[in-house]
Amino acid sequence: MIQGSTELVAIVGSPIAQVKSPENFNRWFTDHQQNVVMLAIDLAQPALDDFLQTLRGWQNLRGCVVTVPYKQMLASRLDSVSERSAALRSVNVIRREPDGRLVGDIVDGEGFLNAARKHGFNPKNKQALVIGTGGVGSAIAYSLCQAGVSHLVISDISDERVEVLGELLRRTFPESVISTRPASLEHFDLVVNASPVGMGATSDDGPLPLPAALMETLSANTLVTDVVTSPAVTPFLAFARSLGCPIQTGPEMALAQLGNLGHFMGVTPLDI
Ligand code: NAD
């Protein structure tokens, strides 16, 4: 029951009906007797600046999760952002400070790593491949470098995106080797599909983000992961599983990120 004393957090995007954060957060708030509620806001783009001004004045609102299409648009409109948000020009969470200032961060990569650690993956000195260098892929690549991978390969159908991210990572993390275009997958400890390929697929033989011949070179001890949330087991993950690889799904990443988002807004511990 929402009461006058209930504190609020929100998730903003458009469309919004598909997001899972409200049910995940609200279940956690209820289970832990917290007088906090998450609202889902489907915001039309022309209202974005007015919305930000309203957030600054909204005194019983602690923060706001940000989803498509506002992650990049909001990064340049906040009062301050983390170093990684500034580098990636993207935010997926905002905290409202008591004085009304809005502070942003992007924790997709940290959420991904939390989930991977639960599979026993430790990024230090490992070799990883990230397919898809958009908002989520860039954040995962950044966090993998920050966590000490020795070699990161990035790939995308957009050469320009690969070039821009590669240049940023080489400049920021000179100790990691950054390369592109994998010829084989056999040496990777981790392979991530961070592209939307497989979203909405209904059968195991749906589209793959890499040619099947390249997929065949996967070794059975590589952790193969996907960010796509629906279906949970994408054709990419089904293929990897058929080769004996351990897999990590998009919903696992989303759930593992809850603590990062809630902690940043000040409404949950980091490890929930
Ligand atoms: P985006 O549009 O910013 O980036 C997608 C990137 O994938 C683009 O750079 C595009 O060129 C690339 N791409 C498309 N097809 C490709 C292919 N065949 N091979 C290589 N690269 C290809 O999108 P985004 O915001 O990064 O979201 C990506 C996916 O992540 C979406 O499916 C989204 O639903 C999902 N997502 C999951 C979580 C989670 O917690 N699991 C969180 C946020 C987003």
Residue-by-residue DSSP string for 206-251: S--SS-HHHHTT--TTSEEEE---SSSS-HHHHHHHHTT--EE-HH
* Pair (102, 127) in one structural domain: no
CATH number, domain with residue 82: 3.40.50.10860
Which pTM was predicted?
0.94
Tens-place pLDDT, residues 60-74: 999 999 999 999 999
Rounded distance from Cα 253 to ligand 1 centre (Å): 14
Question: What is the whole-number distance in angstroms between the Cα of residue 137 and the centre of ligand 1?
Answer: 7
Structure confidence by residue, pLDDT tens digits, 94-124: 999 999 999 999 999 999 999 999 999 999 9
Atom 3, ligand 1: which residue's CA is nearest? 134
Does any domain span residue 270?
A: no
Write down the pLDDT at residue 272.
84
> Residues 120, 220: one domain?
yes
Range of the domain at 207: 109-253
Q: Pick the atom of ligand 1 nearest to 158's CA.
A: 11
Q: Ligand 1 centroid to 270 CA: how many Å?
A: 25
Segment 188-211, tens digit of pLDDT: 999 999 999 999 998 888 999 999
For residue 141, the CA-to-ligand 1 centroid distance in Å is 13
Q: What is the mean pLDDT of residues 173-182?
A: 95
- What's the structural domain count of the chain? 2
| Tokens read off for 264 | 């940043």
| Shortest-distance atom of ligand 1 to CA 137 | 26
Grade residue 89 by pLDDT with cuts at 50, 70 and 90: very high
Evaluate if residue 267 carries a pLDDT over 90: yes
**pLDDT band, very low/low/confident/very high, at 227 (cuts 50, 70, 90):** very high
Phi, psi of 267 (to 5 degrees): -115, -5
Ligand 1: residue whose CA is nearest its atom 12: 132
Asked if 67 contacts 37 with a C-beta cutoff of 8 angstroms, the reply is: no
Q: Which of 89, 226, 227 has most ligand 1 atoms within 8 Å of CB, for mutation?
A: 227
CATH number at residue 245: 3.40.50.720
Nearest to 256 by CA among 117, 91, 92: 117
